[in-house]
Structure 1
């Protein structure tokens, strides 16, 4: 038996609980590992509350990414062995959620625990970098001369996008609600900080880009936030909507400004990209190489003991963090 983090329906409410569950043996192509640390993501909260496009089932484990030590492999596994240090790539199947003291992941979604990384860093890297990799590298092909707007930039996903965009040679504009996080975002690599509470978001963007506007928007807020920057989009702009932190499940889109620049809105999900085995391999190789040579590294905001999972998710829900929130198990 080992403790696991589950979402269950209790007294008519969706709740997170820690319960002991059986430690099953890995099947063909599966890797089991002793979990040392677990990365938290807003997708966990969406799944908990029924807002994720993966339908919530009860009870089921929760958690997309973790790092640990392999303790068993199933038939046919060739790339890792017992004793190896590994991380899990997030891929969205609740049957393979990793929140707990042991986890099982299919071999194709086992990733390196980078040399020189702590368990906390190894558990908190893959979601943020993979999520940013596909829109910025493969779809929009960001590079020198491009300006990228990263919204909700102090989140782990936002910070990951800042690092990937800079790695690709783009200029990064990071948006934040208040000026309180502006210095932090500049230290994290943003070339310019757009402060929403100061008003005229489009004007701030035009000023930062010399009037050219942004070609790529990495959009976690959505709702009616489009209206604030629609007049600062460059021709052919691509808006990648991967979150809805603005609170609305729908997009309030200003049609005319978007038509004017032939903008495209992409309703984007990392999990959809990882359905292609070739994409899995390309993204893992790119991110692993960038971590190995120190070009990217996750920013860890706070580490909670696994036993304080409810406090960790409440802290995430508050929006106070600057970077990744991670839980550490008794093995870490």
Structure 2
């Protein structure tokens, strides 16, 4: 028996409940872990509310990231032993493989032995943010030394991961945030420049920062009206990678900029990296190397206990966090 978080209807954080259930043994190709920490993601709030790309099946579990100790190993699995410290690459389906549990089971190929010195809280905050940012910036955009990259929603865990990855490859990260409240924190987190999008002219600031070369890469989680000034400041042949849609306003298509600059506008989900074994292997190697040499380090905004999962989700939706929200068990 183990405690899990489930919900029986869509709604706000209050629909989440701790329940005790029987946990079956891991099947062939699976690894079961005793969870020590969870990393929270906005996708989980969307699933809970019924607006995610995946559909909940009630009663539904949820959760994409966990770290803990190997509890049991299914048939056909090698390379792991009970007691190993591991963390989880987000599964394709959190309904099929929910992480919010004291004991959780995952496909063996998604289980990673992380550096023990990382600790469970940090390990639970690694894979979603760094794989998302790596896949967009390095795998797809080919971010390189000297490139100017504009990063929206920069104080999110993925935004902060993108700043670190840009610095690791020698690019110039420009962080966009709504107001000046997080300006100093973003500079401290490695942003070369910070733009408060509600207070400043985005295009003008980007053009002054990038000069005649322009912004080659935009990593955007927002969409909405900012599409036009962002693309207007991009370089010829630049690429804008869209991985979210936080803005409630319509997103205009910047036809003139796209045509005159031969821009690429590309939608992106981290699933395309996770579902491609060679690309995932390269991504994991990049992240593990960065964790080992200290150039990549998860930023944790706040930690909650497992029985505070409702409060943790309320904080997740407050947009007050700077970095990752972690829940310990």
Q: TM-score, normalised by structure 2?
A: 0.95
Question: Using the alignment, how far apart are the partners of 1:189 and 1:111 within structure 2?
Answer: 27
Q: What does residue range 200-219 of structure 1 map to in structure 2 within 5 Å? A: 200-219=201-220
Q: Determine the structure 1 residue equivalent to 2:275.
A: 275
Q: Determine the structure 1 residue equivalent to 2:126.
A: 125
Q: What does residue range 147-226 of structure 1 map to in structure 2 within 5 Å? A: 147-226=148-227
Q: What does residue range 138-153 of structure 1 map to in structure 2 within 5 Å? A: 138-153=139-154
- Do structure 1's residue 306 and structure 2's residue 306 form an aligned pair? yes
Deviations 1:53-89 (A, max 9, x none): 1222222211101100001000011021111000000
- Local SS of the residue matching 1:132: helix
5+ unaligned residues in a row in structure 2: which ranges? none
- Local SS of the residue matching 1:35: strand
- Local SS of the residue matching 1:226: helix
Deviations 1:268-308 (A, max 9, x none): 00012211122222211221121122121001110001111
In structure 2, do the counterparts of structure 1 residues 11 and 266 end up closer, same or farther at CA, with 3 Å as the change threshold? closer
1:258 shift after superposition: 2.0
- Local SS of the residue matching 1:210: helix
In structure 2, do the counterparts of structure 1 residues 7 and 242 end up closer, same or farther at CA, with 3 Å as the change threshold? farther
Contact 1:115 1:292 in 2 (8 A): no
Contact 2:14 2:310 in 1 (8 A): no
Q: Determine the structure 1 residue equivalent to 2:69.
A: 69
Contact 1:215 1:237 in 2 (8 A): yes
- Do structure 1's residue 82 and structure 2's residue 85 form an aligned pair? no
In structure 2, do the counterparts of structure 1 residues 247 and 19 end up closer, same or farther at CA, with 3 Å as the change threshold? farther
Greater shift, 52-61 or 95-104, is seen at 52-61
Deviations 1:175-209 (A, max 9, x none): 01011100100000000001112231100111111
- Local SS of the residue matching 1:61: coil
1:139 shift after superposition: 1.1
Question: Using the alignment, how far apart are the partners of 2:254 and 2:293 within structure 1?
Answer: 42
Q: Determine the structure 2 residue equivalent to 1:60.
A: 60
CA RMSD of aligned residues (A): 1.7
Q: Determine the structure 1 residue equivalent to 2:136.
A: 135
Question: Using the alignment, how far apart are the partners of 1:12 and 1:156 within structure 2?
Answer: 22
- Local SS of the residue matching 2:5: strand
Q: How many residues align?
A: 328
- Local SS of the residue matching 1:3: strand
- Local SS of the residue matching 1:28: coil
Q: TM-score, normalised by structure 1?
A: 0.95
Q: Determine the structure 2 residue equivalent to 1:243.
A: 244
- Local SS of the residue matching 1:318: coil
Deviations 1:207-239 (A, max 9, x none): 111243211111111122202322101111211
In structure 2, do the counterparts of structure 1 residues 157 and 11 end up closer, same or farther at CA, with 3 Å as the change threshold? closer
Contact 1:156 1:324 in 2 (8 A): yes
Question: Using the alignment, how far apart are the partners of 1:11 and 1:177 within structure 2?
Answer: 27
Question: Using the alignment, how far apart are the partners of 1:43 and 1:27 within structure 2?
Answer: 27
